[in-house]
Amino acid sequence: MHRTTPGLRADPAARLADVERQRPEWRAWLELLGVAERELDDAGWRTPISDAEVGGIVAGASTEVPLLHRRTLGVDAGRVQQLVRRLAATAASGNVTGAVSFRGYRPSPDDALRLLAAAVRQDPADIRTLAEAAEIDPGALTSMAHLAAFPLLQSCGRLLEGHTPRSWPHGYCPICAAWPILAERRGLDRTRRLRCGRCGGEWQVQWLCCIYCGEREHEQLGSLVPEERGERLNVETCASCHGYVKSVATLQKIPAFELLLQDLETVELDLVALDRGYGRPEEAGFPLEIQLA
């Protein structure tokens, strides 16, 4: 596990290898992550929204709805199908829970698109329906679907970053409606910024306010600080809604893909939080409506 000082990080490949050494049981999962990461280099995912549409989205931006709400994202169905099949084949050859059932999973372009759309919307019911039809473990398909949506959402995040409302008062992502993967206490002035693990979005929020339920009572808000980690890593908790979010001190904005690494590297913080009865919402913070075409 890395304990580098904030701002000084080993490169992602070295960190990924480190995680694999620490957690050999995650190897198959890390391979899937590698498939999604390599896909980021594919130019085919880069323009789900045209420049003109970005202009329209920016002009219509409000502090009420995430930027992707009611948008149509352009993707190539064949490319989506290929990615889903590649992820399924990787999962089937590894040791991912429920992966045995991925053998022979070869969705049509329509089903692959529907799966991707369900992942972007964070619609567990639709993913479950698709899993049942294909006789796949719903949990495994959910994890895989979210990885399949990663390149598309990363592109959306790149196109829309810098266009989010200056002040976004919600705990969920102003671009894609997901709850943050972690909070950054950034820079010397320690502003509190939430980061989205899907689109890489970032938004600043106030201190002493629960990101899930808005609780502001001092006594209800707490933190779990693991002693051996000093103050760099922490878990923010809320006694009212029993929500938690991991929090990391950093000098600079963490690059989008490294958010996933940081999340994996700090999984023991999740275990501590879960053990004490805290949790994270399973569904999106906002019911995103979205179409893929």
Distance linking the first and last C-alpha atoms of the chain: 42
Between 88 and 175, name the residue whose CB sits nearer to Zn ion: 175
Which one of 15-23, 172-180, 184-192, 274-282 is the stretch in contact with Zn ion (CB under 5 A)? 172-180
Pick 140 or 184: Cβ nearer Zn ion: 184
Sign of CA dihedral 116, 121, 124, 130: negative
**In the complex, what is the shortest distance from the CB of residue 110 to Zn ion, in angstroms, rounded to a whole number?**
26
The verdict on 210 binding Zn ion (CB under 5 A) reads yes
Residues 190 and 10: their CA atoms lie apart, in Å, by 22
Nearer to Zn ion, 88 or 178 (CB): 178
Distance CA 230, CA 205 (A): 23
Structure tokens at 253: 């904005």
Report the DSSP pairing between strands 290-292 and 71-73.
parallel
For residue 131, count other CB atoms closer than 10 A to its CB.
23
Distances (CA, A) of 68 to 155, 159, 206, 253: 12, 11, 24, 22
For the bound state, the minimum distance from the C-beta of residue 115 to Zn ion, rounded and expressed in Å, comes to 19
Show Cβ contacts of residue 14 under 8 Å, excluding neighbours closer than 6 positions. Answer: none
Give me the least distance between CB of 176 and Zn ion, in Å please: 3
Question: Which of 89, 205, 213, 272 contacts Zn ion by CB under 5 A?
Answer: 213
Contacts of 209 by beta carbon, 8 Å cutoff, 6+ apart: 215, 216, 221
Tally of CB atoms within 10 A around 190? 11
Q: Which of residues 45-104 bind Zn ion (CB under 5 A)?
A: none
Given candidates 96, 238, 256, 261, which one binds Zn ion under the rule CB under 5 A? 238
CA 203 to chain centre: 14
Phi, psi for residue 186 in degrees, rounded to 5: -105, 140
Site for Zn ion (CB under 5 A): which residue of 198, 224, 246, 264?
Answer: 198
Q: Is 146 in the site for Zn ion (CB under 5 A)?
A: no
Q: How far is the CB of 236 from Zn ion (least distance, A)?
A: 10
Which of 29, 105, 168, 212: binder of Zn ion (CB under 5 A)? Answer: 212
The one-letter amino acid code at 99 reads A
Rounded Cα gap, residues 182 and 185, in angstroms: 10
Stretch that binds Zn ion, among 76-84, 173-181, 224-232, 281-289 (CB under 5 A): 173-181
Determine, following the binding rule CB under 5 A, whether residue 120 of this chain makes contact with Zn ion: no
Chosen residue from 113, 127, 130, 175 binding Zn ion by CB under 5 A: 175
201 is a contact residue toward Zn ion (CB under 5 A): yes
Q: Applying CB under 5 A, what is the total number of residues that bind Zn ion?
A: 16
Instruction: Find the binding residues for Zn ion in span 239-258 (CB under 5 A).
Output: 240-241, 243
Binding region for Zn ion (CB under 5 A): 173, 175-176, 178, 196, 198-199, 201, 210, 212-213, 215, 238, 240-241, 243
